[in-house]
Structure 1
Amino acid sequence: MNRPLVTTGQHPDERSEELARRVAGELGSEFVPRKKRSVRKLMNEYGCPVVVAGKDRYEYHTDPDVQPLFFHPGLAAIRIKRLRDGGRDVMADTCGLRPGDSFLDCTLGLGTDSTVASFIVGAEGRVTGCEADPVVAYIVSQGLEGYTDSEPEVLEAMRRIEVRSEEAGEYLAGCPDNSRDIVYLDPMFEEAIEESAAFAPLRSAGVHGLPGDRLFEEARRVARRRVVIKAHFKSALFDRYGFRQIERPNTKFHYGVLEV
């Protein structure tokens, strides 16, 4: 991994520098004073990604021509409002989520699906998300813990998510048999989709290896009820691992269900 340096926003004060130094320490990275330099210039000078530790959010710059990664809840708040108002959620229905369930998200990303799952399973349930890239895991965990611009029920769901900074296969290998009701995978980078510009920062920053035999074997062992995958409708993963593909008209991503 090309470890990033950590710097402040363009106009730092003493508190900003203290924050950036703390973040650098937690990431095991070098703190570099901003000195009014652009992120692009810092990336060129130091030859590595840059984390900007701002007061309002942390930004992870891995490519000067791509928008930085930062935490935001995505569509989680809208999906939760729909559920609260009696509507349906395709991911939740496919997983068969119920209050008190345990949900393991093997591809956490920004935590949108995990936030929805956490809302459904409630305080008696358990949601764990794996993120292989340690910087992405750090930024998302900080966001889930500290984000405030949403309804209380959304924030409570965020706070309950346990973030694991490790590859999903490694985490699954340490889980007992039948220890999670649902094991969920969303390998969104299998096929690039031009319309998915919102995913560009995560596509640039994260770890994008496709799930393999070991991961699916472990997922089947750990799941108590279902393994669920979300993948491009052309994906070979559905047939290769025996998923029942749920076709969704006019959408490029389908869900697959493996009852265990």
Structure 2
Amino acid sequence: MNYIVTTSYKPSREEVTKARDLAEEMGVKYVSRSRLKEYEKEKVLDFYYVFDKNGQLVIRSGEEVFFFHPGMSKVRLKNIKLQDSDYLIKSMELAGTELVLDTTFGLGNEALLIANFLPDGKVVGLEASEHIFRVVSHGLKNYPYEDDWTREAAGRIELYNRDLREFVRSCGEGSYDIVYCDPMFDRPQYSSHSINPLRPFAVYDRINRDDVDWMIRAARRKFILKSRTRDTLFQELGIEFDRLWGSKKSGVLYGVVDKR
């Protein structure tokens, strides 16, 4: 894909410096925002990175804007407080000291939610897409959090630009208390406006049973796999889950393998 790095309009010197540094790091061209339209007449761009004035790094592709935002984690925590109804958090049975591996990080909303319940623990996240990794890792560190819990939870997350297959095969047995996997769904829910801008940059490689066996090996206490009621992932993998549950309303299922 063809892309460049730019800034918002009338950038500060710091924004220009950050944009130039990122362009150099990625081996692509930096184009000042005032010259962007002219540049697009000469070169066809698939998308471009923008350092915004609020300190955020975003990707613009046509009318779509991909950026980091902790919104869904806040909604889910609110629902937990009101109804105690989050199947992922219930599945994990967290004591607060666990080391959790999130093998498919994406926007990081679930990782933030998990990290909130780990005052003395940590989430290690893997994101195979370079572009999703760059936007989200920047956001985790620089987002202007309004709530203390999101800021503190973000500080308990380590994110790496790694593919889960290669990573879990390098892990020792029982390296993590819990291993969680949330692959892209077979049948996308296009009504999800927060996910849609991410789709062009996501990695869609389908996990297989061998991948799952390595993830289970890396887990000391639990392995949890997420899917949807209308997808075929669970049937294809043929896993014997100790628990399979979820929300009929959302159609999301969590398969849990308990190792003790």
User: Given residue 142 of structure 1, which amino acid in structure 2 is its aligned partner?
Assistant: H
Q: Distance in 2 between matches of 1:24 and 1:55?
A: 17
Residues 7, 50 of structure 1: 8 Å contact kept:
yes
- In terms of mean alpha carbon deviation, does 84-93 or 101-110 score higher? 84-93
Contact 2:100 2:122 in 1 (8 A): yes
Distance in 2 (CA, whole Å) between partners of 1:20 and 1:147 is 17
Tell me if 1:71 matches 2:59: no
**What is the number of equivalent residue pairs in this alignment?**
255
Q: Which amino acid aligns with 2:53?
A: K
Pair 1:49 & 2:47 matched: yes
TM-score by length of 2: 0.88
Distance change in 2, residues 1:30/1:19 (3 Å): same
Find the counterpart in structure 1 of residue 36 from structure 2. Answer: 37
Give the aligned partner of residue 259 of structure 1: 258
Is there any run of 5+ residues in structure 1 with no aligned partner, and where? Answer: none
Whole-angstrom CA distance in 1 between matches of 2:211 and 2:167: 10
Q: Give the 3 Å change call, closer, same or farther, for CA 151–259 of structure 1 in structure 2.
A: same
Describe the shift of the 1:90–1:247 C-alpha distance in structure 2 as closer, same or farther (beyond 3 A).
Answer: closer
TM-score, length-normalised on structure 1? Answer: 0.88
Aligned AA (1:257): V
- Tell me whether 1:92 sits opposite 2:89 in the alignment: yes
Per-residue deviation at 1:199? 1.1
Q: Distance in 2 between matches of 1:108 and 1:247?
A: 20
**3-state SS in 2 of match to 1:128:** strand
Aligned position for 1:59: 58
Residue in 2 that maps onto 1:6:
5
C-alpha spacing 1:42/1:98, structure 2 compared with 1 (3 Å): farther
Distance 1:51 1:181 in 2: 36
Q: Which runs of 4+ in 1 moved over 4 A?
A: 81-86
Deviations 1:50-69 (A, max 9, x none): 111223221113x424x121
Q: CA RMSD in A?
A: 2.4
**Identical positions, percent:** 28
Q: Check the 8 A contact 1:189/1:203 in 2, yes or no.
A: no
Cα 1:102–1:44 shift into 2, 3 Å: farther
